Amino acid sequence: MDQSVPPAPEILAHSLLAFWADAGVDCLYQDEAVDRIALGLSPPPRRVELAPTPLRTSGSPAGPAADAVAQARHLASQAHDLAALAEAIASFEGCPLRYEGAATRSVFSRGPSDAPVMVIGEGPGGDEDARGEPFVGRAGQLLDRMLAAAGLTDRVFMTNTVFWRPPGNRTPSAAEQAVCAPFVERAITLVRPKMLLLVGGASAKTMLKRDEGILAMRGRWFEWRAEDESLELPAMPTLHPAFLLRQPAAKKKAWSDLVSLVQRLDRPERPH
């Protein structure tokens, strides 16, 4: 065989796809292909930092980040219902994700305002960004089916730790979550659920202020406390439905978490 003859294009494409599959690549984050070579020939656009993303994970944030958190707290405190809170989030300019990943709008919530369970995910994706509601893509549809099977249809209020799509659907950073945290806490205060279902590691870590991975936390009950300790709720971390789409065998664990939550939710209250 003449080694100087290059492989056919279809063989090269097949090999490249096989390499990506072995590396764990199982989805695309953009609807259209991007010519990276052409992009590399032109200078990148100058990036304007509207708010610094670094935030200390312990203690109080400093500098402009602290100003953004303070503004979020003020706006959240002025919202006396969920509609006003949604407007406050839409007007908030202190989260960098608003200018980095989101294409259209802020994504706040869906579900009844008096739901006994609040589902808190990580952040919106492309479908959520387009529709302005959380958990409406493939992962959200799987979560809806699981909630329906557990008898939780119309009994959950859904939101995320951040309200704008992170670039490339990446996990939101602790800094981005910290800036949005006052709005999340205000939503909990307004809805007054009986318990929280924390979906995914990023949500569980930031809401519970713990460092363990989601596989170590899922299926266990924790206590979530408001920043001023005025409210305390039981919280159950569980696996993110996007992970379940990649690892279907893990659905059994997520289902066990939902069963535990429903059993506690529907447990008769003890007489006072």
Query: Is the residue at 18 inside a domain?
Result: no
Query: Is the residue at 33 inside a domain?
Result: no
Let me know: does 188 contact 231? Beta carbons within 8 Å.
Answer: yes
Query: Is the residue at 101 inside a domain?
Result: yes
Q: How far is CA 241 from the centre of its chain?
A: 11
Q: Which domain holds residue 154?
A: 63-265
- Tens-digit pLDDT profile for residues 85-127: 999 999 999 999 999 877 878 999 999 999 999 999 999 999 9
Q: Give the count of beta carbons closer than 10 Å to the beta carbon of residue 197.
A: 25
Let me know: does 247 contact 240? Beta carbons within 8 Å.
Answer: no
Provide the domain count of the chain: 1
**In 3D, which of 124, 187, 128, 116 has the Cα closest to residue 156?**
116
- DSSP assignment of 66-99: HHHHHHHHHHHHH--SHHHHHHHHHH----THHH
Question: What is the CATH classification number for the domain harbouring 234?
Answer: 3.40.470.10
Query: What's the chain's average pLDDT?
Result: 86
Query: Is the residue at 10 inside a domain?
Result: no
- Tens-digit pLDDT profile for residues 189-230: 999 999 999 999 999 999 999 999 999 999 999 999 999 999
How far lies 215's CA from each of 26, 144, 196, 250, in Å? 21, 22, 17, 10
Query: Is the residue at 57 inside a domain?
Result: no
Which three-class secondary structure state does DSSP give residue 238? strand
φ, ψ for residue 114 (rounded to 5)? -115, 25
Which three-class secondary structure state does DSSP give residue 199? strand
Which three-class secondary structure state does DSSP give residue 139? helix
Query: Is the residue at 14 inside a domain?
Result: no
Q: What is the pLDDT of residue 268?
A: 79
> Given a cut of 90, is residue 134 above it in pLDDT?
yes
- Tens-digit pLDDT profile for residues 252-272: 999 999 999 999 999 877 655
Q: What is the pLDDT of residue 1?
A: 47
Query: Is the residue at 75 inside a domain?
Result: yes
Let me know: does 179 contact 68? Beta carbons within 8 Å.
Answer: yes
Query: Is the residue at 149 inside a domain?
Result: yes
Q: Give the count of beta carbons closer than 10 Å to the beta carbon of residue 46.
A: 5
